[in-house]
Amino acid sequence: MDLNKVMLIGNITQDPEVRTTPSGVSVTSFGLATNFVWTDQQGQKQEKAEFHNIVAWRRLAEIMGQYLHKGSKVYIEGRLQTSSWEDQSGNKRYRTEVIAENMIMLDRKGQGSGSSDSRAPFTPQEPPQSREQSTEEEISVEDIPF
């Protein structure tokens, strides 16, 4: 049995960039920062930020591009995907991304830059073939309260 599942809660580091592929499919990408907090041996509070590359496709990409912005607090659920290529110097390069499959906006009204309270999850209307979806968690775009 294999499992490739990522769950993150963090803040968006830049406004999502929505693009369209030549075949007409929407894709968005943005950075997400998460913080790890611990107490060291001297009793001092320590904090380390981790930065994640997030990519979403189709309707989820459009929703993210419309409602998310730099500073938004969001829950992202998805899977890891690593791409490799050769740069101009012939060096092998790698990029690991989280392919988002679900998100929950966590900002409350009045927080962030005018974001709304929306804790209902968004599940893509076209889930990957290998993923079973519960109809209880699915909402349509028309159900988003803002």
Cβ proximity of 95 and 83 under 8 Å? yes
| Burial classification of residue 32, based on how many CB atoms lie within 10 Å of its CB (0-12 exposed, 13-18 middle, 19 or more buried) | buried
**Residue 28, in any domain of the structure:** yes
**Residue 97, in any domain of the structure:** yes
The residue with greater pLDDT, 11 or 139, is: 11
- Average pLDDT rounded to a whole number, residues 97-118: 69
**Residue 91, in any domain of the structure:** yes
Q: Which domain holds residue 103?
A: 6-39+46-143
pLDDT beyond 80 at 118: no
**Residue 1, in any domain of the structure:** no
**Residue 34, in any domain of the structure:** yes
**Residue 83, in any domain of the structure:** yes
**Residue 64, in any domain of the structure:** yes
CA pair distance 129, 132, nearest whole angstrom: 8
- Average pLDDT rounded to a whole number, residues 120-145: 46
Interval 73-102: pLDDT, tens: 999 999 999 988 888 888 888 999 999 999
pLDDT beyond 60 at 5: yes
**CATH number of the domain where residue 89 is located:** 2.40.50.140
CA pair distance 99, 4, nearest whole angstrom: 11
CA atoms lying within 13 Å on the CB side of residue 121? 17
The pLDDT value recorded for residue 10 is: 94
Cβ proximity of 113 and 71 under 8 Å? yes
CA pair distance 8, 28, nearest whole angstrom: 17
Interval 6-60: pLDDT, tens: 999 999 999 999 999 999 999 999 999 999 999 999 999 999 999 999 999 999 9
Structural domain count of the chain: 1
**Residue 107, in any domain of the structure:** yes
